[in-house]
Every structure is written in C-alpha cells, then in structure tokens.
Structure 1
Amino acid sequence: MWFRQPSGWTPVQLGSVCLETDRRVGRARSNLPIMSVTKSGIVPQAETYTKEVSSQDQSLYKILKPGEFSAAPMSLYYGAVGKYRGHEEAIVSPAYITFCASGSVNSDFLDLVLRDRRIVQVYSALSQGANKEGKRRTTSFSDFCSIRRPMPRLSEQCAIASVLSEVCSAIEAVELLIKEVEHAKTAVMRELLTRGLAGEWARMVPLPERWVLGRVAEGVTHMPAGWQLVRYDEACLSIQVGIVVQPASLYADVGVPALRSLNVKENQVDRSNMVLISEKAHKANKKSELRAGNVVTVRTGVPGISAVVPDDLDGANCIDILISRIGKNAVPGFLTQFLNSSLAKRQIAVLQGGLAQQHLNVKELKGLKLLLPPLDEQIAIADAGEAFDRRIAAERAHLSELRATKDALAQELLSGRVRLPASMIARFETAPPHEAAAE
C-alpha cells in the first residue's frame, strides 16, 4: 500500500526501527507470566484461552521486557501486534516475534503505527498460506521489516503519542468504571435474589429441600419468609424453542422480524442484524410467535443470556432461542434478572460439564431453581437490576463514542492529514523518546 507523505515526514523502513530481540528462557522452567499477542495487544494467556496451552518445556519461549513489542506471524494479517505494557518481564511463545523500538522512534508512536488500520491491510496483503477456513495466514518478519511508511520527526511523534494517550486513558477509565458497576450489580443482585429488599433484616427460614445442583449460592441455607423455592417452569405457562429447521431458507427482504441468539443480550434486545422471515413462514411457525413480556433465552453459544420481549416486537418470531411465556405468579423482568445473575449462571455451568459446545435445552431451563418472592418485591428487585443496566448501557455508549473519537483522531494524526500545533510539538523537542506518554 502507498502511504501519502506529509510535508516534513520521512519514509522509514520498519526494519530500521523494529530491532528483533531473541532472548530465550533456557533450561529452567520460568515462573514469569505467559502472554498472548492478539489484535487487542499483548494480554495474559489466561484471557485468551480457557485452558493452559503453553508447553511444559518452556526453554525456547522468548523473554519480553516491559516496553518491548511482540507480533504473531500467523495472526499479523488481522493486527496481532503490540507493545507490552506490563511492569515485569514476561514470556511468549517461540512462534512469536519479539522486538524493541530503536532510539530514533518513540515506542508509543510506533505502537500506534503498527496497529494502524491501513498498515494492518499491508500485513494482510503480504501474508501467505491459510488453513481450510482461510485463517492463520503467515506474514514473515522479513516482509514485516520491508514495509516503508512516512514518519514525522521525533518531537512530533511524541506529541501525537501524548494526545492519543490522553484519549486512551479516558477509554481505560470508562472500561474500569463499567467493570466496577458490573461487579457491584453482581453483588447487589445476589443479595436481592437471596435475601430480598430487607437484606440482613429479613426474617429467614430454612430452605425446604436440598437442590440437585447445590444450594442457591455458596453459604446460602435459608430464604426470606414468604418466599418460595421453585423450579423455573413453575413461574412459566410454557417453555419452547423457536424455529430450528432450516431457518435460513425462511429469510426474506420484507416480512416479520425474527430474533436470533445474537439479538439477545443481558436484559435487552439488540435490534442490529435482525433478520426478517416471510409472512408465509411466520404463519407456518405460529408456535414461536413472540408476545410482549415473553422471556427469550440463548440456548447455544453463551446459554442462559435472557431478555424480555419489548412491546414493539409483539408478534415477531424467533429462531433457535428458548421462549418462556410467564405465569401470573412471576414478573418477566425479575426472571431475566435471575437468569442473567451469577445464581443461574452457576447452575447452567454445572449442567454444561465443561463441554466445548455450550447448550441449554428446554428440560434444563425448566429445572433451574430460584427463590420467588411476592409480586411487589419481584417488581422492586427487577427495578433495581434495571437501574444498574441503564447505567451500564449509558457507559457503554460513552465508551463507543470515545473509541470512535480515538480511531478517527488516530487516522488523521497518523496519516498527517491533521497536524498538531507547533507549540504543542515544541514541548517535546528535548524529551527522550520513551517519555512522551508521561508528558
């Protein structure tokens, strides 16, 4: 790919600023953390894989120091490269490339350049070979090093990195806030779903029976007086599955909306990527017609995720998801808060038994146990959960805006289409390359 050269920028070959390192662990097994290289950057291996995939023999693993870089040749075509931002040494697979930034380039600026959308397209164009799914195409380090790209002088690199670092810090702050609110909701909902609104002041009575899958949660042996320990199907009129036989053959350009698993999020319906089925197909599948207030639940992939069908989707249909038609003794919003809680997830996880293909069938959903309070308390508990959901949704929307701003700003600054004021660049005239982000 040809990169336009802004005034004052110089073409630079990546090989001149990316200096390969090849420090191996050696004979002794390392106690250093193992990292993976993804399109999101360098992350702990445990965040990428659900089980340990590293070899027992780590002698050939490569040592990565803080501030150095690593790239995955077989995943570079979609941007698996980044700067290691940990505070201690780590190790990576011997299949990865490790390198450091030369003294002539700011490492934070280099990280931005190497993960820029346009240069990732170059990695993809240089990649060779693929498996049957068209994945794991390899980009060699020599090809990587051959890429030429215009770069500004060091002070402008530092200024660009500093500006984008501020936006990244704002993004990280919102990400952290979302996690904190999610953790708070988990704790609060566990309390509300097991002790009710009265909390520690509630009059508790022993559970009437032992659960097949264990108690409601660790340490819970009692329930509030006036509550019932019930199976999920005792709160429902019926539970069934949406269309499962060749649903793709029913799709139409005009017709009736049909929810799929990807439309069902925790306590909300995502209308993006919603498909339509023909009127004829809808009439032929009346059993899976949705009504406002029904609860829809994901059955394959991330089973158990549930939402209430909103008023504007009354009369829609659904594909390969579970439909619960709720009885008069339960509130739909309360049931979705339960199904999306750690209490239900724990039971569903036991049912899965470590299977690679996660699946929840009608019988399993019916058998989930929950504590059912009186209707007025169900409404109050559902309202509390929905208040958390609204805050989380608002912060996620803010996060999306910040990410879009960062992407747009990075595109303009890294291409040189937008230049920073000379006064801002002058602040970095004497700053060492590694100090840009600290300015």
Structure 2
Amino acid sequence: MSGVAEASPKYLVDVARNGIPVGYKQTEVGVIPGDWEVVEFGSALKEFRNGYAFSASGYASTGTPIITMAQIGLSGSFQFDISKVNKWDSEQQDSLKEFWVRDGDLLIAMTDVTPDKNLIGQMAIAKLDGIALLNQRVGLLRLKNEIAYSGYFSFLSCLPVWKTYCKGVASLGVQANIGTSDIRKAKVPLPTVKEQTTIANALSDVDALISELEKLIAKKQAIKTATMQQLLTGRTRLPQFALREDGTPKGTKPSELGEIPEDWEVMRLGHLAKFFKGSGLPKSELSESGKIKCIHYGQLFTTYGPKIDRVISRTENVGIVTSQENDVLMPTSDVTPNGLATASCITETGVTLGGDILIIRSDKQKLNGVFFSYLVNVLRDQVMQLVTGSTVYHLYGSDMAKFEFAFPSKEEQTAIATILSDMDAEIQALEQRLGKTRQIKQGMMQELLTGKTRLIKPSKEVIHE
C-alpha cells in the first residue's frame, strides 16, 4: 500500500529485545507511535449531552423516531429500523431541539443491562435520513473537527482497553451506568485528523464488505426457505418430474393432507421407518484426541443442519448405539418445544450416537433421509403437535411414528435434497467468509488503532536504523 510506513529489521529486533520499538513510546494507553498524543477524551469534545426521559405513555404510532440504547450495537454498528423504533409526536419536535440527533452524530452507550457489560461506553455513528430524538442514558458527542474524527472514535471504543476502562469506572450491578465526567477523563490515543480519517476509512471499507456479505447471506437464506416451501410440498415441481409420459403437465389430487401432486403418496412415518434411541455419551466423554466419531444430542441444536456429512467430535469410548447411513437424528428432549422440531440426516455409518437422540432408520429405497430432514423443518408445526411435556418437553419414536406426510418418488426426493444441500453449502461458505472477514477486521483494528501498522507516513520523522 502506498505511503505505509514499513517496519525495518532493526524495528523488529527492538520489539524482540525491549518490547518498545524505535519511534514508539509507552503511555497510559499502551505502546503508541511517538508522534501520537495521549489526551483526555474531553479535550476533543465540543459538546456532550444526555438524552431526554421520554415517557412510554407519550409514544406515537407515527412521528419523530427516538434513539435508544437498542440502536447501539456491540461492534459499533448503528442498528436502526424506523418501523420498529418508538416515536414522538412530530409537532413537539421543535421544543426538543436540544435533543436532536442528526445523521453523522456520534453516540455513546451510558447504560448497559447485558450480562457481560460489553456495551457500556460503546460508540456508534448515527445513520439517519432526518431528525431523531435522543433518549436518556444515550450520550451525544460532538467533536472538535480540527483535532478529532468521529469515525476513528467509534472504532476506538471497540478496543479492549477502552471497554476495560469503561467497565472499571462504571457503577456495576444489574444495570451498569457510566457518568459524563468519567467519559471525559478517559485517556485516548490521538493521531492527526488526517491519520484518524485514514484509519476510519480503511475500517469502514471492511465494515461495508461485512454488511454486503450479511445481506447476501440473508438473501440466499430467504431464497432457500422459499425453495423448500415450494419443492417439499410439491407446489413447484422440478422440470424432470413435472410432466406425464405424454408430455402434459402433472396435476394434483385430494388427500387427507389436502391437495398433493398426483404422483405423490401420503404415509405415516411408522410405516416407513424403525425407531431407536442413542445411549450415554455425556459431554465429559468428548475428547479432541479420541479416535471414535460421535454426536452429542446438544449438537443437533447448535452444530448440525439437515445434512451431516462431516462429524466434528470424537470420544475414546466405543458407543453402544451407532449410526447407519441415511439415519435421521432428532433430539428427544428440550426445555423449549420448538427445539425438538429439528432433524439431521447422517451420511456415515458407525458414528457413536449419544443419549437423548431419536434415531429414525427408514428403508433407503423409499425415503431419502436428507429430504426428510428438510421436510421436518417445513412441517415443524405438525411435528410440534406430537411433542409432550410441560417443564421439559419430549419427542419419542412412538410420537414420530404418527407423523403423516406426503412424499414423491425416491428419485425426486434425491433431486430435491441435492438442490437444498447445495444451497446450504453455498450459504455455509459465505458464512465462513463472513467469519474470516470479521476476524480480519478485529486484527486491523488492533493494528491500526494502536499505530502498530501505519497507513500514512509518520507526521514526524521516525528513525529506523
């Protein structure tokens, strides 16, 4: 990158020997470039005000939006949806002028009710199309533009050193609070406005990439959901299964489940499958060094989707119950009933299956396990009707045996399962890319906001002998 001040061999030797490289200095906020300053945050502020205590009784269905703590994200994002935020009568807007929030204003969270209190002191830049109103316990920061850039401080508030300070001075409890004086007294590293802007722009570019990936994933998820609804119910047929032998389009027929494709069948699961239950395998028996592949029932909620083609866990102990290819696995107990309406097909034989796993072993010539796992997600309301219990909910093989559904030929099941699996694989690849991009951003923040990596040449000469 043009203009980047690169580290010389001498620089790296100094780091190894002394911990502080040439051209850098030790300060209250850590090691920073020699041409950066450390100042109290208050010296960079032109204005700092708290919000207004809006009463819920005065909320309006339409009007001026109210900015609350909910709009400040843990990563410094501005989470704003005008259709979901509370609003105030617009006719009173002018009388509340001192609490106006404009596009580009810097906001700070002065209260935190999250368990780990990582939101306290977090800053975010408002992104608005018009005027909004500032709620109490949200601070509005207007900076001295000649020495400070809001984008830089928004990212700076994501660093551990800032969060540690804010937690340290806040009054902790169920609700943590931080005062304006403590925020003003906070020591912050201050490069030139030019360098602040360059740093913020670089990190904003990564944020833009993250945002685009999130939107793309959401779009792909929506397309997959719609595709599942169409293909798994027969409302839309794949071209190779849509026509009769004479070339005319296939129609529908009435059934106990309503209209279904004319060449689909309706059957109870108990007529197609046998049911087993996993055994043992507490979490304490999971081992990274183990040689036996295994699945703990909790992983059906957190780790695996409709198709399990790679088992990630291992154990040292040989399991009593193991998988067969095409088995469909479902959790048999949970504290919420919704969690039980999930299914995963394992494509591997011989994997140890832990307790509280319901194993649905069907005739492979009649039922594709991956197809059925996707179908469970579409027909989750029907599955929910089979769940029993109150405090802890259960789903047993005898319950799922009553599950009635319509299904096509094995060939069509396989074609549908392949399409949906390919969609999931594409989404998973995008999610992995998103995760890596977020990691890159974290690394960039640590490098750029501490001056360890410079995007412009130092404003004062830094000697690397």
What is the alpha-carbon distance in structure 2 between the residues aligned to residue 295 and residue 227 of structure 1? 21
Q: Does residue 1:8 correspond to 2:35, yes or no? A: yes
Structure having the larger proportion of residues in helix: 1
Aligned residues: 391
Partner residue of 1:84?
Answer: 126
What is the alpha-carbon distance in structure 2 between the residues aligned to residue 388 and residue 277 of structure 1? 35
**Paired amino acid for 2:452:** R
Q: Judge conservation of contact 2:270–2:401 (CA < 8 Å) in 1.
A: yes
Q: Judge conservation of contact 1:207–1:222 (CA < 8 Å) in 2.
A: yes
SS in 2 for 1:377: helix
What is the alpha-carbon distance in structure 2 between the residues aligned to residue 145 and residue 230 of structure 1? 69
Partner residue of 1:118?
Answer: 161
Q: Give the 3 Å change call, closer, same or farther, for CA 243–77 of structure 1 in structure 2.
A: same
Q: Does residue 1:209 correspond to 2:256, yes or no? A: yes
Partner residue of 2:224?
Answer: 185
Structure 1 residue 113 displacement after superposition:
0.8
Partner residue of 1:225?
Answer: 262
Q: Give the 3 Å change call, closer, same or farther, for CA 24–249 of structure 1 in structure 2.
A: closer
Percent identity over the alignment is 19
What is the alpha-carbon distance in structure 2 between the residues aligned to residue 140 and residue 208 of structure 1? 67
What is the alpha-carbon distance in structure 1 between the residues aligned to residue 169 and residue 80 of structure 2? 28
Q: Does residue 1:377 correspond to 2:412, yes or no? A: yes
What is the TM-score normalised by the length of structure 2? 0.70
Structure 1 residue 92 displacement after superposition:
7.0
SS in 2 for 1:371: strand
Structure 1 residue 319 displacement after superposition:
4.4
What is the alpha-carbon distance in structure 2 between the residues aligned to residue 25 and residue 239 of structure 1? 57
Partner residue of 1:433?
Answer: none
What is the alpha-carbon distance in structure 2 between the residues aligned to residue 53 and residue 397 of structure 1? 32
What is the alpha-carbon distance in structure 2 between the residues aligned to residue 166 and residue 33 of structure 1? 28
Q: Does residue 1:335 correspond to 2:372, yes or no? A: yes
RMSD of aligned alpha carbons: 4.1
Q: Judge conservation of contact 2:252–2:261 (CA < 8 Å) in 1.
A: yes
Structure 1 residue 164 displacement after superposition:
1.2
Q: Give the 3 Å change call, closer, same or farther, for CA 327–122 of structure 1 in structure 2.
A: farther
Structure 1 residue 179 displacement after superposition:
1.1
Partner residue of 1:73?
Answer: 111
**Paired amino acid for 1:419:** R
Superposed structure 1 runs of 4+ greater than 6 Å apart: 52-56, 270-273, 349-353, 355-358
What is the alpha-carbon distance in structure 1 between the residues aligned to residue 277 and residue 65 of structure 2? 46
Q: Judge conservation of contact 1:231–1:367 (CA < 8 Å) in 2.
A: yes
Structure 1 residue 327 displacement after superposition:
2.8
Trace 1:403-414 onto structure 2 (pairs within 5 A). Answer: 403-414=438-449
What is the alpha-carbon distance in structure 2 between the residues aligned to residue 23 and residue 364 of structure 1? 55
The one of 13, 17, 20 equivalent to 2:49 is 20
What is the TM-score normalised by the length of structure 1? 0.74
Structure 1 residue 377 displacement after superposition:
0.6
SS in 2 for 1:78: coil
Unpaired stretches in structure 1, ≥5 consecutive residues: 211-220, 426-439
What is the alpha-carbon distance in structure 1 between the residues aligned to residue 80 and residue 347 of structure 2? 39
What is the alpha-carbon distance in structure 2 between the residues aligned to residue 233 and residue 63 of structure 1? 63
Q: Give the 3 Å change call, closer, same or farther, for CA 309–184 of structure 1 in structure 2.
A: same
SS in 1 for 2:233: helix
The one of 289, 304, 329 equivalent to 1:296 is 329
Unpaired stretches in structure 2, ≥5 consecutive residues: 1-27, 244-248, 460-465
